[in-house]
Amino acid sequence: MAKDTVTIRNNTNGKEADFSLLRGTAGTPAVDIGSLHKELGAFTFDPGFMSTASCKSAITYIDGENGILLYRGYPIEQLAKNSTFLEVAYLLMNGELPSEVELSSFKGEIRQHSMIHEALRVFFNGFHYDAHPMSMMVGVMGSLSAFYHSELNMNDPEHRRISAMRMLAKVPTIAAASHRHSVGWPFIYPRLDLGYCENFMNMMFSLPGQQYIDENNYIDPIAVKALNLLFILHADHEQNASTSTVRLASSTGANPYACMAAGIAALWGPAHGGANEAVLSMLAEIGTVDRIPLYIEKAKDKNDPFRLMGFGHRVYKNFDPRATITRDTCYEVLEKFPSDDPLFELALALEEFALKDEYFIEKKLYPNVDFYSGIIYKALKIPEDMFTVMFVIARTAGWVSHWLEMMAEPGQRIGRPRQIYTGYDTRNYVDLTDR
């Protein structure tokens, strides 16, 4: 076998061919099998794409074995400690950390695009009063193309940039409006004098007679810190289901707002963006601290349908680096915003029990970021049906970054996975009277 190639042989027809081994900056190399069918008369079969690289990307790197997550080469621990969400969003979109001037300009443009069209505000009235906020997110994000159709020339880099900025700027406004429609509250306009996280919290919780932010523009710094942290940690995560959906939709040439709507729809699934909401549902099922040992045993039983949500991760085989960061903030938030809700006591007791259990230690089933993020959001009074929406706000930064990267690549090809057909072989039509 030649250097940097892999030889594959098809024993059914005796054909053999060499395929290039592609190496990135870091991580496992990939076999370029683009000519596999032509050379050997076969396709690959990889359910869930667990062993398939669908693209080349310079945005995010994950080493699941060692618990490493890098955004544009920067360790997530450093960004979480030192950055704001908008600084990280700039990094993801542009490839480098911004200077003070660049960051100031970026923030200013985000503020200018944060308003949504008045006609779009009326659009919310078409949704049923108790519609799930995520259903509104899908519909409203997709409808943005009707308002900005004059700037949808995807061959124009400036149109692409403006589209990305609009989506990042407007998603908190749309998210807050989705919540307020679901509870029957009047919409709150974004304020140009507030930061990204502060603006969102103000649009979420202010009432005509009770403003969330006082006359001195005070908002609890612990709440802002927690939101910034969770938005940073959820901003991107390589080629996950929703990001891959955005890329696949983009490969058809669809407008960016439709592609983001597709990503939101994919994120809605409980196995993806709904995981932190599922954690609270699981805690509600457990009920009380004294029932934890029973449910721990149920989780160990492969024949029991119960699953311990918020522990372990499909990608991270050791520990989730985002969870390590989030844990301290979770305790900080709970100390700052104490509550008599027994769920918090239950959650912390479950964490302690699992971290001492030999089975969980052996299997390396540590609490992941979803376990702590759900607790933080609940402590900040974010409704449970908004948990996945919070994920959308954060992940929009990653989606638009991948979209920008993909659209700038020459020679794009439409995504077209193959299949193994398991239906009938050719058969003849039978007349209706003879069936």
Enumerate the active-site residues: 313, 370
Residue 151: DSSP 8-state: G
User: Residue 66 phi/psi, 5° resolution?
Assistant: -110, 5
Which of 225-238 are b and which e, b meaning 16 or more Cβ less than 10 Å from the residue's Cβ? bbbbbbbbbbbbbb
Please report how the helices 387-407 and 275-286 are oriented relative to each other, as an axis angle in degrees rounded to 10.
160
Q: Supply the DSSP string of 165-201, one letter for each residue.
A: HHHHHHHHHHHHHHHHHHHTPPP----TTS-HHHHHH
Residue 81 CB partners (closer than 8 Å, separation 6+)? none
Burial status of residue 284 (CB atoms within 10 A of its CB: 0-12, 13-18, 19 or more): exposed
What does each C-alpha distance from 290 to 22, 266, 287, 310, 350 come to in angstroms?
Answer: 53, 36, 9, 19, 10
Which strands form 5-10's sheet, in the order they lie side by side? 5-10, 15-22, 30-31
What does each C-alpha distance from 408 to 15, 150, 160, 251 come to in angstroms?
Answer: 37, 20, 9, 12
Residue 101 CB partners (closer than 8 Å, separation 6+)? none
Nearest CA to 163 out of 152, 174, 175 is that of: 152
| Long-range contacts of residues 268-273, Cβ cutoff 8 Å, at least 24 apart | 268/134, 268/138, 268/388, 269/241, 272/240, 272/241, 272/242, 273/242, 273/388, 273/391, 273/392, 273/395
Structure tokens belonging to residue 290: 């004294």
Please report how the helices 369-379 and 342-356 are oriented relative to each other, as an axis angle in degrees rounded to 10.
160
Structure tokens belonging to residue 117: 């069209």
